[in-house]
Amino acid sequence: MITRRAALAVPLAATPFISRPSIARADTWPQRPVNLLVGFAPGGGTDIIARALQPALQEDLGQPIAIENRPGASGTLAAAACARARPDGYTMLMTTVSASAVVPPHMNPPPFDIIRDQKPVVLCGTVPLVAVVPNSSPANTFQEFLAHAKANPGKLNYSSSGVASQQHLAAEILSAQAGLQMTHVPFRGTGQAVNELLGGRIDIAFDTLPTYLPHIRGGRLRALATTMPQRVEWLPDLPTVAESGFPGFNCNVWYMWIAPPGTPDAVTARMNQAVNRALGDPGLRARVAAAGFIPGGGSEADAAKLLRDDAARYAEAIRVASIRLD
């Protein structure tokens, strides 16, 4: 069972959303810095992709992109703040699948409507999750970890970047399928969990590959499996969870640029073009890929469809695994 910690109980406002006039002039936007909300602490995948895109977007738009880390409630605090922001193009959000598609509908009350109160702009990138253990772990393979966990029910723990985050769901879905009993230790962002894992105080994490790839390559942590259906190019010899006895297992994290509802179409189109141009630059694209991201891109319609489709897919996974988010 997933229990809600105090952070998720922070009132995210129950005021109704109302239609707001489009107050930005798209032909002159932007005329001042754009504030980009990031719902997690520095060091995690959301922060990494935002800062990777920042220089190119500033050059393209001719204005600074001010990144504001606003962690809490699995990223939904920042997502709710964006949903309520003035639709003038000067407050936007780098969000994740969990913060904008999975968690909000299961909160009581929902802090915002994931379809009505968000305007998807563009997919920025996708990352697999990787199962990592400290070097002190007795498990050298994913199968050995499963055997270790089954032999020690309730004694092992796992970290995540927040209650009902994608990292949390991946561990819970696997636990339901494998019959594991582990204790969840949530943090306010992926970056905060790294030191605990490095220190051997966390037994396993299913977490974003870009955050852990340097530690895996440096031999400071041990990778056991990845969570997308196919193996990843960065760790081609590492098996997937799906091929390790759990066919169909597929859990990843995408990062999406979101605008408040009511933001003028021409403004979001301008931002969409800027992100696509940035990700189309061979140098930036190579740097993003080298960090462990599958570079994004595409239209606003593509982004909106991905949000809708994954909201439905994970809602069904939660139902089948009997996971409770309260």
Q: Which residues contact 286 (CB under 8 A, 6 or more apart)?
A: none
Same fold? 32-126+253-320, 128-244: yes
CA atoms of 165 and 258, how far apart (whole Å): 18
CATH of domain 32-126+253-320: 3.40.190.150
Which residues are CB-contacts of 39 (< 8 A; sequence separation ≥ 6)? 46, 70, 71, 72, 74, 75, 76, 77, 78, 79, 93, 95, 96, 99
Per-domain boundaries in the chain: 32-126+253-320, 128-244
Q: How many CA atoms lie within 13 A of 165 on its CB side?
A: 40
Peptide bond into 104 cis (omega under 30): no
Please tell me the predicted confidence (pLDDT) of residue 326. Answer: 58
Domain 128-244 has CATH 3.30.420.40: no
User: For 295, phi and psi rounded to 5 degrees?
Assistant: -60, 145
Low-confidence residues in the chain, pLDDT < 70: 1-26, 324-326
Q: What is the pLDDT of residue 41?
A: 87
CB atoms within 10 A of CB 245: 13
The pLDDT value given to residue 166? 86
Backbone φ and ψ of 123, nearest 5°: -75, 125
- Among 321, 303, 255, which Cα is nearest to 51's? 255
Q: What is the pLDDT of residue 11?
A: 40
Task: Note the pLDDT of residue 2.
Answer: 41
133-172 pLDDT, tens digit each: 999 999 999 999 999 999 999 999 999 877 777 888 899 9
